[in-house]
Amino acid sequence: MTLISVFRRKTLIVQTLAFFAFSCHGYSLDITMPQFPVPVDLRDAFRAPTYKLGGYDRADHLYLSEPFILMDDEEHVHVSNFLKFEQDALLRMIDLSYRLVRPSETQVRLTIAELEQLKATGWIITGFRGLEGRRNTYPDMSGLVCFHPKDHLIVVVYRGTAGNKDGWDTNFDATKTNARKVQKEFCKDLFDEVVELIKNSEVPRRLKAIKVVIREAQKDEPSYVCARNTFAKVQKVAEAENMDPDLTDDIFDAFRMKLELMAAVDKLGSEIEGEVHKGFLKKYLSTKREVLSLLKEHVKSLSKEDRRKLKIVFTGHSQAGATGNLALADICANHGQEIFGASFSNKKDSKFYGYFLSAARAGDKEYRKWVHEHVGHAFVVRQNVEGDPAPISAGDARMHNLVSQVPVVGEILSKRFTMYDDTGYLLLDDGHKVWKRARDLYEREGFDMNRFEEIEDLVRYVASWIVEDEEAVPKYLAPKGSSTSFLWSPIKWTRNRIHTAKTINLLRRALMGDQEAMKELEQFSEIVMTRYAHLHYGHFREETGAAFDPAVVGRDLDSMADRGHVYEIKRKARMEKG
């Protein structure tokens, strides 16, 4: 067994141990886990504030067939009471999905406390698995299906990137693909993974015969049948050469896992219109069988009357917002009638919803049109912070025009990596208000706020080179100084020049290999990350790094809907101008 496989399996064991709370507290994972004492003070450690709505009865939303977004006669955008009331629960589920893969003792205790609270209020929580990255054999916890029978609510929450390499491999596997071609991608990934396993084996020469089989297979058209036939040849070669099982176990595991996944995709289908992000699509499809099975099981457990009231919300943060978007669209469009009957129409029956935070784009204009046709434009919302680069990192038509002008490779790159589009309505959070919420948390936690002010001054000064006017630097990047004294401007200008010179010198020394400079640069980077983590609804802590935090998420949904509506109108005008 190779060192890589040992590492992967140890990682899987650690992630599995993070599931301890499910089995210890009555959840549906058949794993025996150690129990930890839960101090009383930790039960109140979850900081998400509760949103109160005057005169709103929780039962009201169960009987309403309405989308998340409502438009009045004057074309003002309003958010439904359903989302306003359930927002806290959705944020708690997203936070929980991240906590379950942070196996430190503190996080373990917080997770138990949170699970106890959710269970006590009637939630049934089940984890589901999936694959991340291009060359990964072993599935990990990809999200949760949370079911509240009494409130007729199911929440499907996908987990975002938790700082692991495979998660980032998924993010950067950004070539657009048609869902009908995904079996080819799985087959290519499988063959690449086997070649890498052979390369990293302790004695690669003893696996040479298997490598020859894979190289021959890579010349054929990649498909499920090709992968299945190749596995049969590999098994025969391993038996004929009398290869040690310790050398072939990982290779066989890779084949079995990918073939099982490809068989499930073949059976369940992947009829998604348009071109979509390849990495996100592969991750979603690796979870589809378990998610769909859990949804059917929960729906089946309800009476006919209770099914009429049922609502299913897909949610997630960052990468998980895009993955959840694909899951929502596919299950609603291709399995909605299977679950709710032949006459099902989501725009009429109001069953499936999407609430996504800081989400990356998932597909192109055709995909957007397909989602809006089957799920409904007003049934999907994405909540972003002004200034967050993640939701626009997959380029749109405007980016396509810019990239296509690059000599030689521009046209190819623009076709593969741009022309993505947004789905649903935008709730745009004020970046400066989000920073104020994050700053309050940092102050309570004892951070040196002077360091933040130094960063703000430096960013404002550098940004002013680009926008040519310091007054035009966005407030969410660097708020203006409060002082209005005559001396303040020259003092600030001098200080900014000093900070900039020091930073440039620090970068130069670090590039030259100066160890002290590299250590200082690391500390500087941490301060920058801490200062701007809120733009992606994150909060920096020494133990977890920059991680999602419900406490910085905006709750004034109507105001954000108005901001988002104005932003979209302006964006459309810019797109038309080219």
Whose tokens are 């733009």? That residue is 535
pLDDT of 105 higher than 90: no
Among the residue ranges 265-279, 282-296, 438-452, 457-471, the one predicted with the least confidence is: 457-471
Q: What is the pLDDT of residues 526-571, one digit of tens each?
A: 777 888 889 999 988 766 667 899 999 999 999 999 999 999 888 8
Which CATH class name applies to 179-268? mainly alpha
Residue-wise burial string across 143-166, b where 16 or more C-beta atoms lie within 10 A, e elsewhere: bbbbbbeebbbbbbbbbbbbebeb
pLDDT band with cut points at 50, 70 and 90 for residue 18: very low
Q: What is the pLDDT of residue 162?
A: 75
Containing H/E element for 315?
strand 311-317
**pLDDT tens-digit readout, 220-235:** 999 999 999 999 999 9
Selection from 66-80, 359-373, 510-524, 562-576 with the highest mean pLDDT = 359-373
% of residues, the chain, pLDDT over 70: 73
Domains 3-178+270-429 and 179-268 share a fold: no
**Which H or E run contains 154?**
strand 153-158
* pLDDT over 90 percentage in the chain: 44
At the topology level, CATH places domain 3-178+270-429 in: Rossmann fold (3.40.50)
Range 101-117 average pLDDT: 78
Residue 329: in which H helix or E strand, if any? helix 319-340
pLDDT > 80? residue 27: no
Domain coordinates of the chain in residue numbers? 3-178+270-429, 179-268, 446-536
- Closest C-alpha among 548, 553, 499 to residue 97: 548
Q: Residue written as tokens 């693909």?
A: 177
Out of 100-104, 320-324, 501-505, the most confident range is: 320-324
Amino acid of residue 352: F
Residue 17: pLDDT band by 50, 70, 90 thresholds? very low
- Which candidate, 73, 105, 262, places its Cα nearest to that of 186? 262
**What element of type H or E holds 440?**
helix 431-444
pLDDT at 448 over 70: yes
At 464, the amino acid letter reads S
Predicted confidence (pLDDT) at residue 412 exceeds the cutoff of 50 = no
Angstrom CA distances, 356 to 170, 315, 361, 463, stand at: 18, 5, 11, 30
Confidence tier at 2 by pLDDT (50, 70, 90) = very low
Instruction: With a cut of 50, say whether residue 484 has pLDDT above it.
Output: no
Q: Which is nearest to 278 in space by CA: 361, 358, 185, 371?
A: 185
What does pTM read for this prediction?
0.81
pLDDT in tens, 160-176: 987 677 778 888 888 88
Q: What is the mean pLDDT of residues 257-266?
A: 90
Q: How many CA atoms lie within 13 A of 98 on its CB side?
A: 23
